[in-house]
């Protein structure tokens, strides 16, 4: 019923009677957008990454206000069903492997690194146990970022869309879990699912897996 862009006002009038707003913007503005949309009286589905525990906390505080009673916000690092399943599979497999690393590959226009999907994947893996590494010197960051003890490597290359590989290793064996989105159309089934179900999950929901019974 409405499409808003940079410079447009986020209020009930400009939302034109929408029940749910979908935010695909950039990390620098997404939190402010969610607060404005809640003030406008709509539920919110967010596909923008860059969120922190602190920013999640501020959304929870907003949702606890009397004027936001019954409102819902769903923030998902990835809406591609293959990516959601890959994250779930990696978290389930991680306790059985000694080593685990995450490699994420995206187009060079992506503004954040590592991706929100990679961060969420690493956090899911890290819940199992601390990973061992004998590396003592890495002045140039060749081992990549470290998210909750898990190394995450980011590639930005023209021709890519959104890809992730989780590599888990034991003595004598390796498990690779990979997801590839070749077109943004891959995100749409997940977005539609979120739009249809977000209002049935009051408060803040993080991750599409909460809607998929995973």
Cis peptide before 114 (omega within 30 of 0): yes
Catalytic residue among 14, 62, 110, 201: 110
Q: In 10 A of CB 174, how many CB atoms?
A: 10
Among the listed residues 106, 151, 153, 163, the single catalytic one is 106
Alpha-carbon distance of 127 to 24, in angstroms, equals: 29
Is 110 one of the annotated active-site residues of the chain? yes
Return the axis-axis angle of helices 81-93 and 116-126, rounded to nearest 10°: 20
**Three-class secondary structure of residue 53 per DSSP:** helix
Question: Is-catalytic flag, 92?
Answer: no
CA 135 to CA 182: how far, in whole Å? 34
Q: CB-based contacts of 6: which residues, under 8 Å, 6+ apart?
A: none
Residues labelled as active-site residues: 106, 110
């Amino acid at each position: 019923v409405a499409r808003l862009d940079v410079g447009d006002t986020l209020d009930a009038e400009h939302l034109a009677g929408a029940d749910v707003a979908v935010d695909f913007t950039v990390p620098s503005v997404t939190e402010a957008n969610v607060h404005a949309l809640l003030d406008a009286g709509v539920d919110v589905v967010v596909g923008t990454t860059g969120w922190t525990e602190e920013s999640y906390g501020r959304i929870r505080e907003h949702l606890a206000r009397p004027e936001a009673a019954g409102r819902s916000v769903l923030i998902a690092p990835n809406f591609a069903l293959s990516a959601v399943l890959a994250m779930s599979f990696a978290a389930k497999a991680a306790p059985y492997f000694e080593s685990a690393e995450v490699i994420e590959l995206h187009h060079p226009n992506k503004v954040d690194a590592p991706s929100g999907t990679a961060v969420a994947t690493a956090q899911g893996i890290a819940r199992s146990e601390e990973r061992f590494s004998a590396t003592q010197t890495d002045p140039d960051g060749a081992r990549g970022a470290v998210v909750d003890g898990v190394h995450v490597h980011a590639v930005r290359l023209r021709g890519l869309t959104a890809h992730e590989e989780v590599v888990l290793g034991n003595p004598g064996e390796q498990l690779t879990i990979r997801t590839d989105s070749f077109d943004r159309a891959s995100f749409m089934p997940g977005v539609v699912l979120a739009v249809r179900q977000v209002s049935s999950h009051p408060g803040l929901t993080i991750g599409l897996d909460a809607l998929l019974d995973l």
